[in-house]
Chain A
């Protein structure tokens, strides 16, 4: 044991690494969000505003604190690589009374030697009250990559800041002690800033967007708790605490998606989100348990990661844990095949969608994988993978493509954005899968800004367009809403990954990782194709929304009609609606609306009429009473066009637009790669995650891919060049089937609801039945009939059977094979239990027999 660090406090290097005040008090940031939740819930109703200022004010304070924390973190002194004075890089802090334990870091250091990295100069010590943390100042040349072998770019060296960790005993069960504490490193600082930033803007945006909502107080309380859960999760030092934040978010997403629970559709969407993510949560519980028992019975994340790097966890356990944790990520981050909940989650208020998509919830899965990255990195052997793919990268790649394709057939602007989120999350997951850790979390960071911007932009449009989200109602809005238009365009450019904008830099890093880490084949192509898809569908959105002529209601009658719908099924006791008699609607019409709301029959009728005339609309219209009348900017009188939204909506848009431009530049090569302040965290560097340098070839390829997609979509939408493909889906059976497949979302929802949910009729049985009906029968036919029948055979089997069969057979085939299994699916619980126990016993007997013979 080395002498206590405190005795060397005089060393300049040690001083430069001393944890700052904010680093030591990082718990203040989640606490602010908790306070916001509690105050809003308890006292919100007493204020006329519903207590929204609690959330805005406290989240603003949290944003200030987290920004200061980021600055403090970046300001921690650099230590030159040559300085190898022992203990120079150790951080000291006063250990909490009960949490004083020496954290063995020997493993990390040994690992560093093993992988040929320069030996870290950090040291660890615990003596009395002073507690030195494991710290590695692992000087790693920029291009120390496993498979790539790129040259070091200008001799950049990654300075690993020692993380700061304070942990006290939470509770103990028998010999197992569970800690509660905070872990501050670059990743955590980055996430804290991002979450606070987005959350603050969402709060501000919501004050206007939900000004007249009758459950505004509960909404803001949920936002506060949601933010608190995410902040707690990203700053936690133990996996149990991470789980706590994770589950809080699950609860809050349920509350927010189902905020307008009066409509069945909304509460169903909330339930679907909750159950789908819970399916994945089982994986989290299992994975964390495996890691707990595998990693010397500790819940500490840093310790677990160190164990994973040094191979203290048996590789089979590690693999099982990695797969289980990844299932949790698939559920939470909406990856294929559990992505179906996210588009449905659009039923919630738009700002809540922005929060869910940009900074919390779906980001949590990616964050968790990033946080436990050494586990995945070792388990799947990501750096030197002989196969050229692994589960994580493949799932991410599939998600990129399928979500990108689905975005084309949506008419609802929010759903397009939702699928684009799914696709972008696929990028992050693929990035993690191919070893581009920095790229993935960088994309997480930049994506937060431009996706929040796009969602809020969509909210602003809808706010102006009588609460419609249907792009067929928009058009020509660039003339009417210049601020929204400009900011939306910036967000779109960032999402497309056009050079200079944020998305370019981060997407490029992911593709670069795929390029240099030995995933140069399909996965790289998938990444570029995804970029092209993104450009194409975003062009469609922009065209439909901002170009052409406005297609929504403009005459007083039509607007009144829309208004009528809005009030038609508002509850009669909706005070907010009563208080805000919209000036757009004249008094008679409003009275009619009120009358209608008093009479359920008329109400339903009015609703039905409007629904049938205007098609399925987002029902946001029915709940937020419109208030264009008292809008200070509302210069357009009755019967006008949509107009720009007021400042609480446009200011967040402008701020986010600025961030969407500059967020990417901080990791640009010509800006000194400032992002390494946050990405060079100890666990990642110690694990030997490669860090390739900027590669012009990759940048050019990905940009060309994006521009290609953009050009094609531009030609299609703007220039009207149809390539002779117009109406292809009607002329060509295959294309039609493809379209139907997309419109039905690959039948995944039908699969889950009809087949998995309703019992034994599993997909395997379906496939077997379909194979039997179409392929086997087809072969029998083919051999039996002579050659002159072969043309008919082609039609029957290939066209009717294979193409249609794939599409339609899934649903109908399930019923057929279900009858075969009907006797098994008797509905009797005890019979199921017998199969379960008998199967388990038989399986265990087999395992026992095998191991018994061996020993």
Chain B
């Protein structure tokens, strides 16, 4: 297999995600940021499909785009963030942040190129949802339960933090 269609799809997705991500962290409009975030998250879902992880792609769309972004929009509204263009979304250490970001990027790139040079992924068949379910409930039951407790704790914590008293 030469994977040509996949390569094309990946290239489009990658360009779209990178540009959107940059807009997320640079845009002057808070709501635009949230919408660019949707683009990135949708791109991630596309990457999951390329990697034959259909179930995860569906979860990504449902949870991230469906729930988390909506939560962000609520957060923007509740904190009365300026809806239109606004200054002052960035602090005064952009240069430092850019340097750190570039250092991290450089480090990761160097390490990845060194470590995984030309390893290839061969996908012959999709990983079915049933397999994922079996894996979760056979091998990873304890982490699953821990995560559910964590969600409960987060729920209670959020309620306690956000209630008016």
Q: 1/0 contact trace for B97-113 toward A, CB 8 Å? A: 10110011011001100
Inter-chain contact A841/B103, CB cutoff 8 Å: yes
Inter-chain contact A174/B139, CB cutoff 8 Å: yes
- Which residue from B97, B107, B114, B143 sits with its C-beta under 8 Å from A834? B97
CA distance A848 to B114 in the complex (A): 10
Inter-chain contact B140/A838, CB cutoff 8 Å: no
Let me know if A785 is at the binding interface, CB within 8 A.
no
> Known: A848-B111, A852-B114. Contact between A841 and B140, CB under 8 A?
no
| Secondary structure class of chain A's binding surface, majority of residues | helix
Let me know if A842 is at the binding interface, CB within 8 A.
yes
**A-side contacts of B141, CB under 8 Å:** 171
B108-165 residues with Cβ-Cβ distance < 8 A to A are 110-111, 114, 139-143
Inter-chain contact B103/A838, CB cutoff 8 Å: yes
- Which residue from A171, A172, A834, A848 sits with its C-beta under 8 Å from B96? A834
B48-91 residues with Cβ-Cβ distance < 8 A to A are 91
Nearest-CB residue, chain B, relative to A841: B103
Let me know if B2 is at the binding interface, CB within 8 A.
no
Let me know if A719 is at the binding interface, CB within 8 A.
no
**A-side contacts of B106, CB under 8 Å:** 845
CA distance A144 to B140 in the complex (A): 48
A822-855 residues with Cβ-Cβ distance < 8 A to B are 828, 830-831, 834, 837-838, 841-842, 844-845, 848, 852
> Known: A831-B93, A834-B97. Contact between A173 and B114, CB under 8 A?
no
CA distance A830 to B94 in the complex (A): 11
Tally inter-chain residue pairs, CB-CB below 8 A. Answer: 44
The minimal Cβ–Cβ distance linking B113 to chain A, given in whole angstroms, is 10
> Known: A837-B100, A842-B103, A845-B107. Contact between A172 and B142, CB under 8 A?
yes
Inter-chain contact A834/B142, CB cutoff 8 Å: no
Inter-chain contact A838/B114, CB cutoff 8 Å: no
CA distance A174 to B135 in the complex (A): 8
Nearest-CB residue, chain A, relative to B144: A173
> Known: A830-B91, A848-B107. Contact between A173 and B143, CB under 8 A?
yes
CA distance A177 to B58 in the complex (A): 31
Inter-chain contact B139/A173, CB cutoff 8 Å: yes
CA distance A828 to B96 in the complex (A): 14
Q: How many residues of A contact B (CB 8 A)?
A: 17
> Known: A171-B142, A172-B139. Contact between A830 and B93, CB under 8 A?
yes
Nearest-CB residue, chain B, relative to A845: B107
Q: 1/0 contact trace for A302-342 toward B, CB 8 Å? A: 00000000000000000000000000000000000000000
Inter-chain contact B107/A841, CB cutoff 8 Å: yes
**B-side contacts of A174, CB under 8 Å:** 139-140
Inter-chain contact B91/A844, CB cutoff 8 Å: no
Inter-chain contact B100/A848, CB cutoff 8 Å: no
> Known: A830-B93, A834-B93, A852-B114. Contact between A845 and B139, CB under 8 A?
no
CA distance A830 to B101 in the complex (A): 13
The minimal Cβ–Cβ distance linking B131 to chain A, given in whole angstroms, is 14
**A-side contacts of B96, CB under 8 Å:** 831, 834, 838
**B-side contacts of A842, CB under 8 Å:** 103
Inter-chain contact B99/A838, CB cutoff 8 Å: yes
**A-side contacts of B110, CB under 8 Å:** 845, 848, 852
- Which residue from B99, B100, B111, B142 sits with its C-beta under 8 Å from A173? B142
CA distance A606 to B114 in the complex (A): 75
CA distance A848 to B96 in the complex (A): 22
- Which residue from B93, B104, B114, B139 sits with its C-beta under 8 Å from A837? B104
CA distance A176 to B55 in the complex (A): 26
**A-side contacts of B93, CB under 8 Å:** 830-831, 834
Inter-chain contact B111/A841, CB cutoff 8 Å: no
**B-side contacts of A173, CB under 8 Å:** 139-140, 142-143
A161-180 residues with Cβ-Cβ distance < 8 A to B are 171-175
CA distance A842 to B97 in the complex (A): 14
**A-side contacts of B107, CB under 8 Å:** 841, 844-845, 848
The minimal Cβ–Cβ distance linking B147 to chain A, given in whole angstroms, is 12
**A-side contacts of B100, CB under 8 Å:** 834, 837-838, 841
CA distance A717 to B26 in the complex (A): 76
CA distance A830 to B99 in the complex (A): 14
Nearest-CB residue, chain B, relative to A849: B110
The minimal Cβ–Cβ distance linking A148 to chain B, given in whole angstroms, is 48
The minimal Cβ–Cβ distance linking A278 to chain B, given in whole angstroms, is 19
The minimal Cβ–Cβ distance linking A372 to chain B, given in whole angstroms, is 25
The minimal Cβ–Cβ distance linking A820 to chain B, given in whole angstroms, is 20
Which are the 5 A-B pairs with shortest beta-carbon distances? A841-B103, A838-B100, A171-B142, A841-B104, A174-B139
- 25 example contacts (A-B, Cβ-Cβ < 8 A) are as follows A171-B142, A172-B139, A173-B139, A173-B142, A173-B143, A174-B139, A174-B140, A828-B91, A830-B97, A831-B93, A831-B96, A834-B93, A834-B100, A837-B100, A838-B99, A838-B100, A841-B100, A841-B104, A844-B107, A844-B111, A845-B103, A845-B106, A848-B107, A848-B111, A852-B110
Which A residues contact B (CB, under 8 angstroms)? 171-175, 828, 830-831, 834, 837-838, 841-842, 844-845, 848, 852
Beyond A173-B142, A831-B93, 17 additional pairs, beta carbon < 8 A: A173-B139, A173-B143, A174-B139, A175-B139, A830-B97, A831-B96, A834-B93, A834-B97, A834-B100, A838-B96, A838-B100, A838-B103, A841-B100, A841-B104, A845-B106, A848-B111, A852-B114
